[in-house]
Amino acid sequence: MTTPGQGFEPASGDGPAPSAAGRAAELRTAYEGMVQIRRLVNGPAGAGVPAPWELRLMPRAVALALEAAGIPPSAQDPQDPQDPQDPQAAQDQSAPRTRTGYRVGPAASGAGRVEVTWLGPPGSGAAEEEQERLTACAAALEALGWVCLLYRGPRRRRFLEVEAPAP
C-alpha cells in the first residue's frame, strides 16, 4: 500500500497480509517503474540487471520482483502475540504466521545478499513445498538478472540466497 511521502511498499512476508484494495494497480506501477529505471540507468545492460538503487535496497527490490511475479508473500498476525512461556517464541520474537508464502530478509552470510525463505503457519505444509516454491522464486528473480543459490540450512529447511550479478 502507498504511504504518503514513501511510495509503494512491497510485501516482504513479515507483517500483515497486504490489502487487496488497489494493490494490483500500485504493484504494476511500481514494477513498471523499476523496469524503466533499469532501462535508463543501466546502459547497454538495460532491464536485464538490477539498477543501483536495487542494490542499495535489496530486500525491497527482491520483494517487489517476487510480488510482481504473482508469488504470494507470507503474512503474520501482529494482533496475536505469542505465548512468552513457549521456547520457540523466546527464539522468534515475530508474530505467528497466518499465510504461507515467501519471506525476504537480510542474509546471514553478509551484506550484498538477501535471503528468501518459504514460511507458513504450523501445519500448513510450507516445509514440504519449499523446494518447489523457492525454485519458482529463483526463476522469477533470475529472469530479472539476480543470482540465486538454493541452500539447505538449520533443521534441513531450504532457503534461497540472492545477490547481484558480478560486474
Could you tell me the CA-to-CA distances from 144 to 6, 49, 66, 87 in Å, in that order? 24, 6, 10, 40
- Identity at 152, one-letter amino acid code: R
The pLDDT value recorded for residue 90 is 32
* Assessment of whether the complete model's pTM goes beyond 0.75: yes
pLDDT score at 167:
79
The owner of cell 504470494 is 72
H/E stretch holding 102: strand 101-106
Torsion of CA 109, 143, 121, 8, to 10 degrees: 90
23: phi > 0 → left, psi -120 to 50 → alpha, else beta; which?
A: alpha
Number of Cβ atoms within 10 Å of the Cβ of 157 = 14
| Residue 41 cell numbers, joined | 540507468
Q: How many CB atoms lie within 10 A of CB 136?
A: 17
CA distance 141 to 95: 27
Torsions phi, psi for 165 (to 5 deg): -70, 155
pLDDT in tens, the chain (167 residues): 444 456 789 999 998 888 888 899 999 999 999 999 999 999 898 899 999 999 999 999 999 999 999 999 999 987 755 544 443 443 344 689 999 999 999 998 888 999 999 999 999 999 999 999 999 999 999 999 999 999 998 889 999 999 999 87
Given this model, what pLDDT does residue 140 score? 98
pLDDT of residue 41: 95
The predicted structure's pLDDT at residue 110? 82
